[in-house]
Structure 1
């Protein structure tokens, strides 16, 4: 089911007011006509330094990407058809839009940011959102996109539309704030979580599943609210090789690309198998060799690769994966990684691919249905936007959809919920699995604040 209306997202962590929203277009009665203008900018722009306090969407990597403010249009969907419904609504919007794009680069023109919920039964809606204005820097090509909602009768811009102005006025400097003290309340004690791991391993031994990805969440109480823009800036600075994202109630820095499509080509990066390391350190070479040959890690990785390649068979004309996994080094963790590439069939969009792949074995398990049933039985909370597709798509259907990992849900100005986990297969060690889950929470916890003394 789906609804669409041009209303702003609620403020989550930062105490700020969103820009005025345009007139509502409720339900599916009428698709609004948007006028989209992308202007080339001659300035050199440090994008992470221009994340405004009132931003509504962000997508950053290696200091480049896109940042959006305001809301010109949004669509919320739920249920098993949430991906298909959102894609259809956006295609309707794109067909009716007037697009004047003088840049013609990736990410220019009409763009929708999206965050989907993990489960079809989740009470949290999935969202696509078109901002009022987007500041972008991709392939070192800076641009500004402005979006107006056209009046249906007068065929003129709505008075609430984003007026052309200097990009610095729309995207002022990123606010700075001292890291606040935080109190972390995990859902389980170490012993309780390790017992959940043992229960999951018992299910695997019984033959209910070959792999189950279990996660842990913690409620983090902030002494002082932190602007979302500040959190994003910290994540982008500390984890430049990840995809740093924000939309609606999710924020994070993920290393896992689910579906990156451009001109019919598909790229996907699969991570499965992890080793925690000390911050600022890395595995010794002999430990890394052992990691790459570990039977348990390789089995988990093989499940994840197969979950991608097998599900895309009818969406692609060809698909290949790395001959063997490589080690991806990130602060605090090293992963076994493989890259998947393919040629898409005519008319297949990035969101089609993301919807088909979700949830992959890297975040659910194998077989998918059995693993998700085990997750529902073992985890005390709905996953919400955790481990689900987050990213963006353009009017042609190309875009990037990562998996929302290394993330937090923004619940109130002084309360967030972080979540992370790991894949369990026969032979997994409960103590090590708990340590891995904790290690994966470090990035967003360090962006938020510092633990109480």
Structure 2
């Protein structure tokens, strides 16, 4: 199913090489064409042999936009987390010097940057997170965009002043043919769990007690504590199979995967940090959690308990107030309901408040990220004190967990969600992450149980059961 238009491709690449010669800087040739719809996971999987370690998958929680990127045309590494100026400036330079042809003005297609930032700007990445550094973004060589029953394929090539056009065209055609000529089925093979390593429950609950005690003597009102669960399997973990199961099991969430060399960070997050579409800005407040019931009656009862629980309502209100404060100066209008509703996912239900705003169409989504991250749902309140306490006391490196992960295109549109309900996969190993908000009336045993519930989505996918 080759879709390359050689005449258009040749003209675009010639123009990009000419621009590179004129400017003295590399230029991206970016070409987008509408194609027949295809299975997005098969496309993702077909790239494994040639592009292993250079793939991403993104499906929004409405399931009307899917992005799959394979190959890295160019990358941007953050020198420190949330280095907004650095990322914005480099992305702006890439766009200014790019030569774009084919379908244009399609949200999520064309020139597009995908990636994520680390949780803590002041914490050096551990060995587990080294491939991602303080943040990693890249422009994919091939981007499949599927939205509203339409499919588009974007090809991006970095052209230098010395490049030979015909060589680039021939190489692109070979890679595209291989990528789109797939005949693959998913194996449903079992992968035996060999052992698991949990953080010591007593030590973690002691940390919760410490946080509660600190709130008695300081102005710290909330701190979010996370813990990890390490799993080891008989064979390397298949990210395609994990994504397939996440799509089946976790409706209403954003399913994502990002590779960096031999590492893969993936999950199904219910929490949007920020979405920008034209002059519309969207965010979400998600805090306060309880388990799903065994039947409809119990589920309704649990939901009412959550809605009426003072601790959870206070925790949720902290998030609402910080999101409102963060976005008020960026938006001319901001709409936030007064009362939260329930968001029900397969394993857990949350208190949820949607946020909508009207902003300047030229606003960078990175400006919104810088103001929002981390919200009180992932860090605490006040933000600076909570982050310092987490940095000093938490016994793990969050890396991209609980951090912004997502995309932005050349039209100013994009979406970043929060990387929760997630796992870091490296060969046969997986590290699962879960966290909870600690307030002055938190009960350590209940907080521990909440994190156990939040391991559920990834446990179901990787193991097939809860442990």
- Give CA-to-partner distance per residue, 1:187-216, whole Å, 9 cap, x none: 422222211111111112223410110000
The 8 Å contact of residues 78 and 120 in structure 1, kept in 2 or not, is answered as: no
- Which of residues 127, 148, 154 is equivalent to 2:157? 148
State the match for 2:246 in structure 1: 235
Which moved further from structure 2: 72-81 or 49-58? 49-58
CA RMSD of superposed structures (Å)? 2.5
- Confirm or deny that 1:244 pairs with 2:255: yes
For residues 300 and 284 of structure 1, the distance between their equivalents in structure 2, rounded to whole angstroms, comes to 21
For 1:80-121, what per-residue CA distance to the aligned partner results, in whole angstroms no more than 9, with x for missing partners? 552331121111111111111326321111111111100112
Shift in alpha-carbon separation, 1:310–1:431, aligned structure 2, 3 A: same
Stretch deviating more after TM superposition (222-231 or 325-334): 222-231
Residue 137 (structure 1) aligned with residue 136 (structure 2): no
- 1:51 and 2:44 equivalent? yes
- Whole-angstrom distance in 1 between the partners of 2:41 and 2:64: 6
Q: Is residue 315 of structure 1 aligned with residue 330 of structure 2?
A: yes
C-alpha contact 1:51 1:171 (8 A) present in aligned 2 = no
1:39 corresponds, among 33, 42, 45, to 33
User: Can you give the 5+ residue segments of structure 2 that lack an aligned partner in the other structure?
Assistant: 1-22, 126-132
Structure 2 partner of 1:126: 135
Higher mean C-alpha displacement, 101-110 vs 139-148:
101-110
Deviation string 1:266-312 (CA, Å, 9 cap, x unpaired) is 01112000002357878533332231121111110011111111012
The 1:170/1:331 distance shift into structure 2, 3 A limit, reads same
Q: Unaligned stretches of 5+ in structure 1?
A: 1-28
Distance in structure 1 (CA, Å) of the matches to 2:43 and 2:296:
31
Partner residue in 1 for 2:217: 206
In 2: Cα distance, 1:265 partner to 1:169 partner: 35
Secondary structure at the counterpart of residue 417 of structure 2: strand
1:17 match: none
Which range moved further: 129-138 or 200-209? 200-209
Q: How does 1:323-334 map to 2 (within 5 A)?
A: 323-334=338-349
Distance 1:301 1:443 in 2: 22
User: What TM-score comes out, normalization by structure 1 length?
Assistant: 0.87
Change (3 A) 1:293 1:157: farther
Q: Structure 1 residues 158 and 347, CA, compared in 2 at 3 Å: closer, same or farther?
A: farther
Q: Alpha carbons of 1:32 and 1:270: their partners in 2 closer, same or farther (altered >3 Å)?
A: farther
Match of 1:196 in 2: 207
**Aligned counterparts of 2:333 and 2:64: Cα–Cα separation in 1:** 32
Q: Deviations over 1:138-183 (max 9, x none)?
A: 1222111111221323573763853374586266646434231224
2:8 is aligned to: none
Which of the residues 406, 419, 424 maps onto 2:438?
424
Aligned to 1:20: none
Q: Does the CA-based 8 Å contact 1:135-1:167 persist in structure 2? A: no
Q: Secondary structure at the match of 1:104?
A: coil
Residues in 2 aligned to 1:434 and 1:313: alpha-carbon distance in whole angstroms: 35
Counterpart of 2:71 in structure 1 is 70
Displacement, 1:449? 2.8
Contact 1:200 1:424 in 2 (8 A): yes
Report the secondary structure of 1:105's partner residue: coil
Q: Does 1:438 align with 2:448?
A: no
Q: CA deviation at 1:365?
A: 0.5
In structure 1, the residue corresponding to 2:212 is in which secondary structure?
helix
Instruction: Tell whether the 8 Å contact from 1:63 to 1:240 is kept in structure 2 after alignment.
Output: no
Distance 1:157 1:426, change over 3 A: farther
Is the counterpart of residue 92 in structure 1 residue 93 in structure 2? yes
Stretch moving more, 175-184 or 431-440: 175-184
> Corresponding residue for 2:311?
296
Of the two, which has the highest radius of gyration? Answer: 2
Change in Cα spacing, 1:353 to 1:184, as seen in structure 2 (3 Å) is: farther
Distance in 1 between the 2:297 and 2:201 partners? 25
Deviates more, 1:99-108 or 1:443-452: 443-452
2-side partners of 1:277 and 1:112: how far apart? 36
Structure 1 stretch displaced more, 382-391 or 370-379? 370-379
Q: Give runs of aligned pairs for residues 10-409 of structure 1, distance below 5 A.
A: 32-41=26-35, 43-52=36-45, 53=48, 54=52, 56-61=55-60, 62=63, 64-79=65-80, 81-102=82-103, 104-121=105-122, 122-123=124-125, 124-154=133-163, 156=165, 159=168, 162-163=172-173, 165=176, 169=180, 173=184, 175-183=186-194, 185-247=196-258, 248=260, 249-277=264-292, 283-409=298-424
Most deviating of 184-193 and 62-71: 184-193
- Using the TM superposition, give the Cα deviation of residue 31 of structure 1 relative to its aligned residue in structure 2, in angstroms: 5.2
Identify the range of structure 1 (43-52 vs 286-295) with the bigger mean alpha-carbon deviation.
Answer: 43-52
- Structure with the largest fraction of helix: 2
Contact 1:75 / 1:128 at 8 angstroms: preserved in 2?
yes
Number of residues paired by the alignment? Answer: 423
